[in-house]
Amino acid sequence: MTPSTPRKGARRGADIPDDVRLGLSQGRLQSVTLVEGLAVDQAQLLRAVFPDLQSAVLAAAAQVCERGILQRMGGMASLLFDALGSAGTAVCQAHASDTVRGWACFMVGNQPDLTLAERLAAIRPLADDAHFGVREWAWMAVRPHLARELDAAVVQLTAWTENPSERLRRFACEALRPRGVWCAHIAAFKQQPEAGLPILSPLRADASVYVQDSVANWLNDAGKDQPDWVRALCAQWLQGEPSAATRRICQRALRNL
């Protein structure tokens, strides 16, 4: 099996076959489920991809691998960037393993001295990656920077809502969810979700279910703090003859209200 070949019958946790687990940890296979992605031995993967790394880096990587998954991904990325710089980022970004490309995401996120525009340009190909996991790592890796420069991030990501790629349109929305998954909340959007409308409004009738789900989840997040605002916005979007996409978004947005 090659990394570009889909695998069927992916299993869970301890049921992952030893040959699949080994292939994942040697960078020969891509994960097909979140559980497989979490089962990767990242220290072994690091040795397979960068066999010439100094022993001190490998020893530090073994300690990083004792952390939770986000700290593990970020820690491996920091070690690699310190050891190899931007050249290491390029190697990771081009690798067949989705986990290694995930390291590249966090190398972009951890890289110092980038402007917001430069960071978004660097993460863009990874945000448009064919693998679902890499796309998730992409927004998680840069979200802290987006949250720190929220107004500028909204302006720059609004342009992404018109991109032909549904993956990039979805990134524009998903990266700035008020609550999100596995990430810190964005307090400003919890208090004033209307500040996200420049991104949400262009996507309210998006034809992609992938994008629709992200918009609905953004509004569902907002509804936990500002339920009346979400109800009013959906009522506005549903006036006249809304598209099936808009109706689906609003139905999912209001599911907990």
- What confidence score (pLDDT) does residue 180 get? 80
Q: What global pTM score does this model have?
A: 0.91
- What confidence score (pLDDT) does residue 10 get? 44
- What confidence score (pLDDT) does residue 208 get? 98
- What confidence score (pLDDT) does residue 14 get? 54
* Tens-digit pLDDT string for the chain (257 aa): 333 344 444 444 458 899 999 999 999 999 999 999 999 999 999 999 999 999 999 999 999 999 999 999 999 999 999 999 999 999 999 999 999 999 999 999 999 899 999 999 999 999 999 999 999 999 999 999 999 999 999 999 999 999 999 999 999 999 999 998 889 999 999 999 999 999 999 999 999 999 999 999 999 999 999 999 999 999 999 999 999 999 999 999 999 88
- What confidence score (pLDDT) does residue 12 get? 44
Provide the CATH topology of domain 149-257.
1.25.40
* Six-digit token string for 24: 């994942």
Alpha-carbon separation of residue 117 from 121, 142, 148, 201 (angstroms): 6, 11, 13, 22
Domains of the chain by residue range: 16-148, 149-257
